[in-house]
Amino acid sequence: MELIFEKSVSGRTGVRVPLSDVPKAAPLPGELRRGEPVRLPEVGELDLVRHYTNLSRRNFSVDTNFYPLGSCTMKYNTKVTENAGGLFASCHPMLALLPGGDQLVQGPLAIVYELERQLAEITGMEEVTTQPLAGAHGEMTGIMVIAAYHKARGDRKRKYVIVPDSSHGTNPASAAMAGYEIVTVPTAPYGDMDLDLFRQAMNDEVAAVMLTCPNTLGLFNPHIAEICAIAHEGGALTYYDGANLNAILGKVRPGDVGFDVIHVNLHKTFGTPHGGGGPGSGPVGVRGDLVRFLPTPRVLRREDGSYAVEDHPEGIGRVSDFFGNFAIMARAYAYITLLGREGLIEVSEQAVLNANYMMARLKEEYEIPFDQTCMHECVFSASRQVQNGVHAIDVAKYLIDRGFHPPTVYFPLNVKEAIMIEPTETESKQTMDAFIEVMLEAARLAREDPERLHQAPVTTPVGRLDETRAARMQQVCCE
């Protein structure tokens, strides 16, 4: 499709700018003036509306297609929470930082405070900050809190963070951004970080261990409390990556298990829409003695029940300008309030049921690297299909032709030809059955007509794209 810039016609205008009701001012001095106007497209409003409406139709989305993208938790986003999140559109965040201004924004401050309390209860943590703007941003914030803790104790020799090899790539990247070196521990044949190798890796130079549980293989680690204990004995803190929290709502709380720090991806567990890659929101919770290191400012409740914004002098400073991605937080707050205790427990139960059903139905055709009861997602390998020259990516592309967004492929990295499926709790058995039929069909085609899979997709506006060429050309904007 043409770019909006290619639809530009010199002299055409779209939206009209208001007329001025003040005198024209003397121009800026020449050296401060822009040389030529910004070369933005010149299109009428209808051209614009058609262009972006038609572009949108070139996307798969949850509202149009089943989206079992493992680890990403693409559940349906309830419409009423959308309406709720939009109610605060005209509220300027700077009001809260003006002298006396907190009185004018009691509603949104109450939401920040109450959401933090809800998340603390859900995760078993003492306090939560909503400031981080995405899950990975939360990871970095959490590790910065851990660094501040060690520093405050005068413990300066800790320079390593341990992660399992199946971890999200953001874990090591976030720890590195906070200044740590990474030690990777392999996965044992039972599907979790190898306990013996972990013991060997632990020493008094380790600052933290970062884990997710259930892990990215969809498995709950029965040794999780032991890992926490070993870490604590060595003076390290434990970090829980909350990306998979939707599997255990009401069943397990990371704080109860022995984790010291956690981030929560609101856009996953609490069903806020992900907009083609963001916004997300990654609140961080901590155990009691780490509360003082949380970022500044904090929202507190006064004795009279009103809310105030307070500086947090020992904290790690700011990690974003204001209170986080507030409109996303308001949606998550609405979601938690709407579902309530029983609804959230049902989320986990149905997410786990759906994932196990998917695994049970597909395991005849697709290899399961770790054959155990899974949590909210299951990981297969296309290793059998590879014998016929068919790879995970070919199966993925065939699914597109049949109207399904593909699962996550080639992740986690420790499974060859990984296909990671997360149905989520909002999908019906009938939708999953239709998907399962196509997955089984793809496995049949892999044996009988592999070329069909290699050619897919054929129903989309473009076929398989040349990614090598894109990386070589580095054409990232139009001239």
Partner 1 sequence: MGYSPNTPDDIRDMLAAIGAASVEELFAPIPAQLRAKSFDLPPGMSELELMRLMREKAASCGAGITPFIGGGIYDHFIPAAVDHLASRAEFYTAYTPYQPECAQGTLQALYEYQTTICRLTGLEASNASLYDGGTAVAEAALMSLRITDRHKVILDGSVNPLHREIVTGYLHGLSAQAVQVASDGCASDLARLIASIDDETAAVIVQSPNFFGSVQDFRELAQKAHDHEALLIVSCYPIAMGLVASPGEMGADIAVGEGQSLGNHLSFGGPYFGFIATRKRFIRNLPGRIVGETVDHQGRRGFVLTLQAREQHIKRHKATSNICSNQSLCALRGLIFCASLGRKGFEELARLNYDKAQYARSVLGAVRGVEVLNAGATFNEFTLSLPKDAAEVVQRLLDKGVAAGVPLGQYYPGMERALVVTVTEKRTRDEIDRLAALLEEALWS
Instruction: Give, as ranges, the residues between 145 and 204 that touch partner 1 (CB under 8 A).
Output: 147, 168-170, 172-182
Q: Which stretch binds partner 1 (CB under 8 A): 20-28, 194-202, 382-390, 445-453?
A: 20-28
As measured in angstroms, the least distance from the Cβ of 407 to partner 1 is: 10
Cα–Cα dist 261/140, whole Å: 11
Q: Which stretch binds partner 1 (CB under 8 A): 131-139, 198-206, 379-387, 441-449?
A: 131-139
Q: Which H or E element spans position 152?
A: helix 135-152
Q: Which stretch binds partner 1 (CB under 8 A): 230-238, 382-390, 444-452, 471-479?
A: 471-479
As measured in angstroms, the least distance from the Cβ of 386 to partner 1 is: 20
Ranges within 45-64 binding partner 1 (CB under 8 A): 45, 48-49, 51-53, 55-64
As measured in angstroms, the least distance from the Cβ of 444 to partner 1 is: 20
Burial 189-202 (b: 16+ CB within 10 A, else e): eebbbbbebbeebb
Ranges within 71-130 binding partner 1 (CB under 8 A): 72, 74-78, 80-81, 83-84, 87-101, 104-108, 110-111, 118, 121-122, 124
Ranges within 335-354 binding partner 1 (CB under 8 A): 336-347, 349-350, 352-354
As measured in angstroms, the least distance from the Cβ of 180 to partner 1 is: 7
How many residues touch partner 1 (CB under 8 A)? 204
As measured in angstroms, the least distance from the Cβ of 240 to partner 1 is: 13
Cα–Cα dist 291/152, whole Å: 13
By C-beta, is 183 or 447 nearer to partner 1?
183
Cis ω on the peptide bond leading into residue 164 (within 30° of 0)?
no
As measured in angstroms, the least distance from the Cβ of 409 to partner 1 is: 8
Give yes or no for residue 252 binding partner 1 (CB under 8 A): yes
Ranges within 307-326 binding partner 1 (CB under 8 A): 316-326
Cα–Cα dist 233/237, whole Å: 10
Cα–Cα dist 267/275, whole Å: 10
By C-beta, is 317 or 448 nearer to partner 1?
317
From 126, 232, 308, 357, residue interacting with partner 1 (rule: CB under 8 A): 357
By C-beta, is 21 or 448 nearer to partner 1?
21
Burial 215-228 (b: 16+ CB within 10 A, else e): bbbbbbbebbeebb
Using DSSP, state whether 28 is helix, strand or coil. coil
Using DSSP, state whether 1 is helix, strand or coil. coil
As measured in angstroms, the least distance from the Cβ of 432 to partner 1 is: 9
Contact 187/193 with Cβ under 8 angstroms?
yes
Cα–Cα dist 149/294, whole Å: 10
As measured in angstroms, the least distance from the Cβ of 74 to partner 1 is: 6
As measured in angstroms, the least distance from the Cβ of 39 to partner 1 is: 5
From 35, 189, 305, 313, residue interacting with partner 1 (rule: CB under 8 A): 35
As measured in angstroms, the least distance from the Cβ of 146 to partner 1 is: 10
Ranges within 373-392 binding partner 1 (CB under 8 A): 373, 375
As measured in angstroms, the least distance from the Cβ of 452 to partner 1 is: 15
Using DSSP, state whether 204 is helix, strand or coil. coil
Cα–Cα dist 142/140, whole Å: 5
Contact 385/223 with Cβ under 8 angstroms?
no
Build a one-symbol-per-residue string for 207-246: x at contacts with partner 1 by CB under 8 A, - elsewhere: ------------xx-x-xx---------------------
Burial of 322 (0-12, 13-18, 19+ CB in 10 A): middle
Q: What is the amino acid identity at position 39?
A: R
As measured in angstroms, the least distance from the Cβ of 73 to partner 1 is: 9
Cα–Cα dist 397/432, whole Å: 18
From 115, 128, 134, 201, residue interacting with partner 1 (rule: CB under 8 A): 134
Q: Which H or E element spans position 128?
A: strand 127-129
Cα–Cα dist 82/78, whole Å: 7
Q: Which stretch binds partner 1 (CB under 8 A): 68-76, 193-201, 382-390, 441-449?
A: 68-76
By C-beta, is 41 or 450 nearer to partner 1?
41
DSSP 315-384: S---SSSSSSSHHHHHHHHHHHHHHHHHHHHHHHHHHHHHHHHHHHHHTTTSB-SS-S--SS-EEEE-HH
Cα–Cα dist 323/91, whole Å: 13
Burial of 415 (0-12, 13-18, 19+ CB in 10 A): buried
From 292, 361, 384, 452, residue interacting with partner 1 (rule: CB under 8 A): 361
Build a one-symbol-per-residue string for 263-302: x at contacts with partner 1 by CB under 8 A, - elsewhere: ----x-----xxxxxxxxx---------------------
Q: What is the end-to-end Cα distance of the chain in Å, rounded?
A: 17
